[in-house]
Structure 1
Amino acid sequence: MNEKNSIGLGYYLFVLRRQWMTILGMAVIGLVAMGGYVALVPGKILASTVVNVNVIVADPFNPSRPASGLLDAATESKLASSYVVAANAARALDNTETAVQLRDGVSVTTGLNATIVTISYASTTADRARSGADALAKSYIDYRQSQAEATKKKMIGNLEDQLGTLNKSLATTQAADKSALNTRISNVEFQINQLTAIDTTGGSVISPAAQNPVTTQPQPSLLLVSGLLVGMVLGIILAFILNSLARRVRDGHDVDIAGAGPVVMALDSPNGSLPPQGKELAAYRSLRERLLAATGNDIGVLTVIDETIAWAASDVGQGLAVVLAQSGHDVDLVLMGTSASKQMQLRGQLKLAPSVVDAEEDSAVMVSALIPRLRVIYPLGTDGAADTDDFVTDDVRRRVDERLPGVTTILVLPPKAAASSRLAAARLAQSALLVAQHRRTRIAVLSERAQELADVDTPLHGVVLVRATRESGAGARATSAAHSKADPQPVSR
């Protein structure tokens, strides 16, 4: 694999640029799919109630440790979202929201290094969400208070039992031991007094749900953006998969992969004409100069192998021959396997007439009154056994062998030519061109043709890439009709 095919940032950008329609299509699909989900599946309305939790301590005014340091955030979160709290809240709401619904829709967040707990509830409407959040907050506060009061009552009860026992012992104890018992009784009474003074309030609501804004969960805009991004990611993945599975020629990168050389000319026009005109004329002239520079101003014999997939063969060889002849080169254009309708079409386009000099040859030789330096040669067909090849006949070989110095011979094979014909035409030529069709010609076919040329040591200039829907005969019918009544005199070379 050459440097152009090596994996790098440039390659990834190239694939993304080539497959941009795939990426865009998947992004649109993701956006539409998520839009449908948003439309069909209603979002939840989220309301929040803010609670200041009362941390229950024996001495709330002791500054040695802040109240937030005594609060276990994980425990409080679990407690606020527990089934017991949800069940009590459901009873407070007269079961308009069940305990299961309340527990499924509740979410709890605790402030960092603070005693603030935010209890949120998601429901189908804003009113139900606010009612649920407030009910859960109140149930959470009440539950904390009831638990604290139960614990306080139990501890005080235990101390009172101890105090009763000590008082009974004091009545039966001798005077010498009463001092120690009185001390113990005083300690127990002090503990009872401390417990009695403890504030067991669970907390207080500092911001009810009605005072806080409601939000939609999940947010439609966030969902749409997520759908778009997911679609783009899937599109990028699909782009690389499709690029690796591509089997048809799309651009110069595929031509390089096939080892068929560069794209020496691209014909993007939907209609072709002979002689070439406009942008196509400029493209043919550029190709002509490339070929002349590569061959030292003497192209000699050039084989054009057509690998287009269309109703008719391309006209690349004809266009190149016309442009070469227009620049003062003597050109013999040998068209092998050309249909009778195509021959009639070319006759009108180039004002062709039979050659008097070559009237007795084994080929139909036509000369152009429009471009005097151009001859068009149609080798006569054989029965397949009386000649060396179906297309590269003995007459074609003889014309190549007897080619005069300075004359350029262009051998044009049709797409249906067999491998033996391609090899024979390539072996007779000094160089070759391949014609491929955008998104129709297979990369593997170009690779095979390049290998065939290498097998017979015929240099390959590169590939001419033509548009898939290009009609080589378009624009020619008018020219043919205009000249069908004309009968130009034969021109001899």
Structure 2
Amino acid sequence: MNEKPSVGIGHYVVVLKRQWKIIVAMALLGVLAVVAFLYLVPSRVMASTLVNVNVIVSDPFNPSRPASGLLDAATEDQLASSYVVAHNAAQTLQGGDDAAALRDGVSVTAGLNATTVRISYTSSSAERARAGADALANSYLLYRQSEADARKTKMINQLQQQLTSLNAVLGATALADRSALSGRISSVEYQINQLTAIDTTGGSVLTPAAENPVSVQPQTSTFLASGLLVGLVLGVILAFIRNAFNRRILDGYDVGLVGAGPVLAELDGSRGTIPARGDDVNEFRMIRERMLASAGTSLEALTVIDATQGGLSDVAPNLAVVMAQTGADVELVVMGTSEKYMTLLRDGLQLVPDTTDSDEEAEILGSLRIPHLKVTRPDRTGTHDGADDLVTGVVRRRTAGRKPGTVIILALPADAPYASRLAAGRLAGAGVMVAERLRSRADDLAAGAAQLDEVGAVLLGVVLLQRGRTITDTHETSHPATLEVPGRDAVSARR
């Protein structure tokens, strides 16, 4: 029995080639799902406005820290997305989005180690998105300025009140004590002057939204590519799952995978004849040569185990025909066959009772068409030793009493019991299995190979048939190529 080959990268390539329809179908399904999603979900457009934020310091020309270090990104984010900013921005938009929509669609990104802030706004169209982004940016800058102005005014007013109080005290103070008050008054006046000089501008727009590209969400190309990729991945996964659960034989690769190889031939025709015609003639001759090369030219007995869905195929009789063509005497023993199948054999091989050989428990026929070929059909209804339902006593006697130089072929049907396969394999010592694409199960093929191995029989290989291959009456076909038919004189002389 052949060892099962190890699984390499070639196995994955074979699976992908076999299941390409599933992969393509899942990829198309992924793309269609994305198309449906894009159709149902409205597109959104995002526009951005870049602003430079003015960081307010008391001495802008001599800062203790860089301006970027004084900018709190979280605070600016909260300011730009606040209701006040959105409400003020909505007031400037004529027929645009309202304050709630502006708040929902705004996003703020502060520049790293910089005083720039990018304010982005997402809306239903590019025009609305650009208008909203510019309105939010301007409202944000104005709000920062108004807040700074309010704080500046408040501080100045407090200092002015303090200065007024100090001046009043200065008028009622003795001349000797006025020096200290004058210093305090000068300090307050200096602070007022410093506050007055502070720039409270919120900032400036560096790049308006109209000058920045817009982005559309969801992005059609990105989503389609994602759908295609997800579909392909799911398709590949399903392909391997289906391949793992599909135990039907598809081609010679499956045969080798279960350890039942090699494949002696693949008969692609949907109909076969007895004897073979057309391209099948050459296929059966190749099977013969491969069997002889594998078993040696001294092949004496062979069992043909059918693993198809039907009864007996045309493989066993055609193997007997091509073996008889080599000049060897061949006896084909067909077990468990029907009358219909026997009719096909009688018509195709021109079988007549063999008067030179007889057995009470079997029907022995000689071929007028193929020299050196006889067909034996054990009588299942007759009396026999009961050793086996198919491999009866007559089968055992015919095999054991085989004349030197005679090749005996034991043909078992697809429904042959386990014991019959073991018995036929043990008697023959060599076997060939017949499988049918997409119908024969890998487990059955592996079991047949194991059965032959159990009894020490050599599995010469597998003949792979096209799915649904049937046997056609010879008279119904008209292929020009056929096996050579010897003259009647030669057959009569042999008889």
- Output the TM-score relative to the length of structure 2: 0.87
2:5 alignment counterpart:
4
| Secondary structure of the structure 2 residue equivalent to 1:391 | coil
State the 1:130 CA deviation. 2.5
CA distance in 1, matches of 2:48, 2:383: 91
State the 1:168 CA deviation. 4.1
CA pair 249-75 structure 1, distance change in 2 beyond 3 A: farther
1:382 aligns to 2:381 (yes or no)? yes
More divergent stretch after superposition (350-359 vs 447-456)? 350-359
Counterpart of 1:325, as a letter, is A
Counterpart of 1:127, as a letter, is E
Q: Is the 8 A contact 1:437 1:468 kept in 2?
A: yes
More divergent stretch after superposition (99-108 vs 394-403)? 99-108
1:299 alignment counterpart:
299
| Secondary structure of the structure 2 residue equivalent to 1:421 | helix
CA pair 173-443 structure 1, distance change in 2 beyond 3 A: farther
1:209 alignment counterpart:
209
Q: Is the 8 A contact 1:51 1:117 kept in 2?
A: yes
More divergent stretch after superposition (451-460 vs 76-85)? 76-85
CA pair 34-301 structure 1, distance change in 2 beyond 3 A: same
Q: Is the 8 A contact 2:336 2:413 kept in 1?
A: yes
- 1:33-52 correspondence runs (5 A): 33-52=33-52
CA distance in 2, matches of 1:480, 1:345: 16
1:406 aligns to 2:409 (yes or no)? no
CA pair 308-83 structure 1, distance change in 2 beyond 3 A: farther
More divergent stretch after superposition (449-458 vs 268-277)? 268-277
CA distance in 1, matches of 2:72, 2:383: 97
- 1:83-122 correspondence runs (5 A): 83-93=83-93, 96-122=96-122
State the 1:277 CA deviation. 4.6
- Output the TM-score relative to the length of structure 1: 0.87
| Secondary structure of the structure 1 residue equivalent to 2:366 | strand
Per-residue Cα deviation, 1:13-46 (whole angstroms, up to 9, x for no partner): 4433343322222111111111222223231122
| Secondary structure of the structure 2 residue equivalent to 1:5 | coil
The gaps in structure 1 that reach 5 residues or longer are none
State the 1:340 CA deviation. 1.7
Counterpart of 2:39, as a letter, is A
1:333 aligns to 2:353 (yes or no)? no
| Secondary structure of the structure 2 residue equivalent to 1:120 | strand
| Secondary structure of the structure 2 residue equivalent to 1:194 | helix
Q: Is the 8 A contact 2:26 2:234 kept in 1?
A: yes
1:151 aligns to 2:151 (yes or no)? yes
CA distance in 2, matches of 1:180, 1:318: 133
CA distance in 2, matches of 1:318, 1:198: 110
Q: Is the 8 A contact 2:5 2:259 kept in 1?
A: no
Per-residue Cα deviation, 1:62-95 (whole angstroms, up to 9, x for no partner): 4886544443444433432334433333344367
CA distance in 1, matches of 2:165, 2:86: 43
2:29 alignment counterpart:
29
2:315 alignment counterpart:
316
1:436 alignment counterpart:
435
CA distance in 1, matches of 2:363, 2:407: 18
CA distance in 2, matches of 1:74, 1:238: 47
Per-residue Cα deviation, 1:312-336 (whole angstroms, up to 9, x for no partner): 4322222322222233333222221
CA pair 399-64 structure 1, distance change in 2 beyond 3 A: same
Counterpart of 2:184, as a letter, is R
Per-residue Cα deviation, 1:67-124 (whole angstroms, up to 9, x for no partner): 4444344443343233443333334436752333223322333444443333222222
2:485 alignment counterpart:
none
| Secondary structure of the structure 2 residue equivalent to 1:388 | coil
Q: Is the 8 A contact 1:90 1:102 kept in 2?
A: yes
State the 1:267 CA deviation. 2.7
State the 1:301 CA deviation. 1.3
The gaps in structure 2 that reach 5 residues or longer are 483-487
Counterpart of 1:88, as a letter, is N
Aligned length: 487
State the 1:411 CA deviation. 0.8
More divergent stretch after superposition (183-192 vs 61-70)? 61-70
Counterpart of 2:476, as a letter, is A
CA distance in 1, matches of 2:383, 2:212: 93
CA distance in 2, matches of 1:3, 1:409: 30
CA pair 215-316 structure 1, distance change in 2 beyond 3 A: same
- 1:398-477 correspondence runs (5 A): 398-469=397-468, 471-474=469-472, 476=474
Per-residue Cα deviation, 1:116-150 (whole angstroms, up to 9, x for no partner): 33322222223322222222222222222222223
CA pair 102-282 structure 1, distance change in 2 beyond 3 A: farther
| Secondary structure of the structure 2 residue equivalent to 1:147 | helix
Q: Is the 8 A contact 2:292 2:299 kept in 1?
A: yes
State the 1:427 CA deviation. 1.8
State the 1:361 CA deviation. 5.1
CA distance in 2, matches of 1:354, 1:319: 20
CA distance in 2, matches of 1:2, 1:88: 81
RMSD, aligned α-carbons: 3.3
2:219 alignment counterpart:
219
CA distance in 1, matches of 2:177, 2:276: 131
1:285 aligns to 2:285 (yes or no)? yes
CA distance in 2, matches of 1:385, 1:240: 50
CA pair 390-56 structure 1, distance change in 2 beyond 3 A: same
CA distance in 2, matches of 1:474, 1:78: 86
